[in-house]
Structure 1
Amino acid sequence: MSRIVQLDGLRGLFIILITINHVNTPLTEFTYQPLGYVSAAEGFVFLSGLVAGLVYYKRLARTGLRKVVVGAIQRARTIYIYHLISLFIVCAVGYYSIIHYHYWTEVLTRFFQTPVQSLVLSLFLLYQPDFLDILPLYCLLLLSLPFLMYQFRKGNSRWVLAVSIGIWGMSQLGLGLSYKATKLLASYLPGAELSYMDIFAWQILFVAGVYLAYRRASGNELRVPSYMIWPAIAIITVLTLNRFNVLGKTEDMWWNLIDKHRLGPLRLINFGALVIVIDFLMRSYRGLFAQSWLVILGKHSLQVFSLHIVLIFLLLPMVAYYSDNNSIALLALVGFILVCLYLLAWVRERKKHVQKVAVLA
């Protein structure tokens, strides 16, 4: 079974988890960071680098670096367009609908205060409210893909990884694009709002994914020794117990170590342990993440992810207003959104299949 198929299935699973978490149902307590201090967002960014690397390394072998550069730019442009469409829909509804205005006031504060400036800044990815900050991150990271691939092929892996770790380290020292940078930027450009996720920190996940893809494409796949599964499980178990306060409420003592927007060191260790365990499961149970419905969601992750944002912004205020955040109503909303996401992915997959058949005919 193709590794990309398994990874697409895993991406589909992450999209489901992200959807549940964004709606904030009773399930969210268990779906948000269920295995320690790692959320689906980290996995989504890492898989984006890994899958992009696997796909573009095949293209590199067939067509050369120039085609890879063109392909990466075109893909980044597509992501950029989907992001802007989603953002403009969300802002328009929030601006003209009283219910949506009040519900999303905290998320869209800067837009409601300075709508024109915010929309103009969004064209330069300088306005990224919550829920709408993953695609800009992916768009910017994807532009670095050809450079990373070229450097890895030249044998500069150690230097690239060292620089990536160094940039992540800068974020830990408060020198990244964090809240301080947002406040500074907003003082000069009213309406500006950077991503919750510091790109200085989160780039390390994307770079790691591209590096693993390079190792696989070059026939020198990085394999973790089988005995490492037990330390990884131990790390995940301890951090999961702490996450759910079984070991006592100690998060405040080491907040910087598990900080999400800067990817604290303990969070990265937790993530690495999860990668080891999931890789073991993928090798041992090849069909585990290769369920067709998950794979379809993962293959069309851009369109599915964009639709889930729009549906949540449109429907969640209505459900909250008319049901007073009733748990059953929120769960029904999640189910409805997931059905819509699957139908979109299925239609796109069906259309793709019909076009392929027509070409072969």
Structure 2
Amino acid sequence: MLNGRDPRIDFFRGLALIFIFWDHVPHNPLANVTVQNFGFSDAAEIFVFLAGYAAVLAYGKILLRDGYVFACVKILRRVWTLYVVHIFLLALLMGIVIFANSHIETRDLVQEMGLEYFLTHTQQALLDELLLRFKPNLTDPLPLYIVLMMSLPITLPLLVRAPTLMVAISLAVYLLAPWQGWNLPASNGGVWYFNPVTWQCLFILGGASALRSPGPVDARPLLRQPLFVAAAVYVLVTCVITLSWRWPEVHDAWMPRAIGEWLYPISKTDLSPVRLLHFLALAYVTAKLLPDVGWTQQWLARQLARMGRYSLEVFCLGVVLAPLADMLNAMAGDSLAIKLTTALAGAALMAALAGWLDVNKQLNQRAAARAASLHS
């Protein structure tokens, strides 16, 4: 329980950040290779699950070592940092979108990004921004993360001491929320796009995974492990269904009407059970197929893992780069080369930021070590 940091977690956090960036650049060809094209869940589920995993791994150790009060102080300091970043990011994003909008004649980026409310109701929008109710497109994951971290002082003690009970409570709230209409209010009379009352379940499941002690290794071939087979079949079936959405006439021809009426709509706001189940099945299959960490030492894997270690900063850069890439793509017309260039350049800049932050951290650690040695 609460062992060292798993480089696979950082790798998949970094990969999710790249996918989020690519998914939010309209008409980006590389968005066709992200996880949302091959199943019911997408990079948002990866981000939230691993955020829960990383949070419990970090603050659970502090709770056990230094006590509840000290852990709460550390958590709330992190929440304050996230909140300040949220305010700054919104201001920066609005400036960039308004600038980009002035260079594109064929589209209204202000409307597409959900910023028209700010221009028409500026005073109320500023208040809503401070209350986490005003969330333009691209920024939704950060307020969700803030609220989930704010709940951690309540959930962490029970999660550490009685994880099964905490997961049961979380699942009960998750199932009740859509039925009871539980969600937080957003600006202009709406509700949160990512409902924290349901998405907390994924965060808690991630935290519970960080606490799980490794069990005995199943030596049987994967195809003889019933749970793996069931998870893999579900992943493959959802992949086929998702791919069929590209050809509606094909989808309508083979999808039984009764199943379609039961399946749709697949709510992202309330984290539909089929989405949650798809992510859990995909995570289980991936963990089984990649049981060791040796592959994370490859060069590309190390770059993605480093991005995952600085997920907040890299996520914010991706939010800023998305409208800029969209602007350049629109100004270039329908150029595939430009679209590929902006997508890859954006990913490279995100990796470069993580590299710079890593070097900075190492320099600070060396300076602190030298200072300590001089005073010893």
The answer to whether the aligner puts 1:39 opposite 2:42 as a matched pair is yes
Aligned residues of 2:7 and 2:293 also touching (Cα < 8 A): no
How do 1:1-361 and structure 2 match up within 5 A? Answer: 3-24=5-26, 25-95=28-98, 98-99=102-103, 102-107=108-113, 108-155=115-162, 157-173=163-179, 175-177=181-183, 182=186, 186-187=188-189, 194-215=191-212, 220-221=213-214, 227=225, 228-245=227-244, 248-249=251-252, 250=255, 253-256=261-264, 258-284=266-292, 286-288=294-296, 291-320=301-330, 322-361=331-370
Rounded to whole Å, the distance in 2 between the matches of 1:210 and 1:12 is 18
Secondary structure at the counterpart of residue 105 of structure 1: helix
249-258 or 7-16, larger mean C-alpha shift: 249-258
Stretches of structure 1 that go unaligned for 5 or more consecutive residues are 188-192
Larger Rg belongs to: 2
Deviation of the 1:86 alpha carbon:
1.1
Rounded to whole Å, the distance in 1 between the matches of 2:263 and 2:116 is 27
Aligned residues of 1:177 and 1:198 also touching (Cα < 8 A): yes
Secondary structure at the counterpart of residue 104 of structure 1: helix
Change beyond 3 A, Cα 1:223–1:126? farther
Aligned residues of 1:21 and 1:32 also touching (Cα < 8 A): no
Rounded to whole Å, the distance in 2 between the matches of 1:278 and 1:129 is 33
Change beyond 3 A, Cα 1:221–1:145? farther
Deviation track 1:214-242 (CA, whole Å, cap 9, x = no partner) reads 33xxxx34689661221111110011011
Change beyond 3 A, Cα 1:23–1:289? farther
Change beyond 3 A, Cα 1:186–1:5? same
Aligned residues of 2:235 and 2:278 also touching (Cα < 8 A): yes
Stretches of structure 2 that go unaligned for 5 or more consecutive residues are 371-376
Secondary structure at the counterpart of residue 248 of structure 1: helix
Rounded to whole Å, the distance in 1 between the matches of 2:135 and 2:264 is 23
Deviation track 1:115-139 (CA, whole Å, cap 9, x = no partner) reads 2211221111011122111011001
Aligned residues of 1:171 and 1:198 also touching (Cα < 8 A): no
Rounded to whole Å, the distance in 1 between the matches of 2:182 and 2:333 is 39
Rounded to whole Å, the distance in 2 between the matches of 1:139 and 1:206 is 12
Rounded to whole Å, the distance in 1 between the matches of 2:268 and 2:294 is 31
- Counting aligned pairs with the same residue, the percent is 27
Task: Tell me which residue corresponds to 1:190.
Answer: none
Secondary structure at the counterpart of residue 194 of structure 2: coil
Deviation of the 1:258 alpha carbon:
2.7
Change beyond 3 A, Cα 1:38–1:286? farther
343-352 or 163-172, larger mean C-alpha shift: 163-172
Change beyond 3 A, Cα 1:248–1:319? closer
Aligned residues of 1:235 and 1:270 also touching (Cα < 8 A): yes
- Corresponding pairs, count: 346
Rounded to whole Å, the distance in 2 between the matches of 1:293 and 1:328 is 24
Change beyond 3 A, Cα 1:257–1:213? farther
130-139 or 165-174, larger mean C-alpha shift: 165-174
Rounded to whole Å, the distance in 2 between the matches of 1:272 and 1:64 is 32
Aligned residues of 1:83 and 1:136 also touching (Cα < 8 A): yes
Aligned residues of 2:25 and 2:323 also touching (Cα < 8 A): no
Change beyond 3 A, Cα 1:331–1:2? farther
TM-score, normalised to structure 1, is: 0.87
Deviation of the 1:3 alpha carbon:
4.3
Deviation of the 1:174 alpha carbon:
5.8
TM-score, normalised to structure 2, is: 0.84
Rounded to whole Å, the distance in 2 between the matches of 1:95 and 1:194 is 25
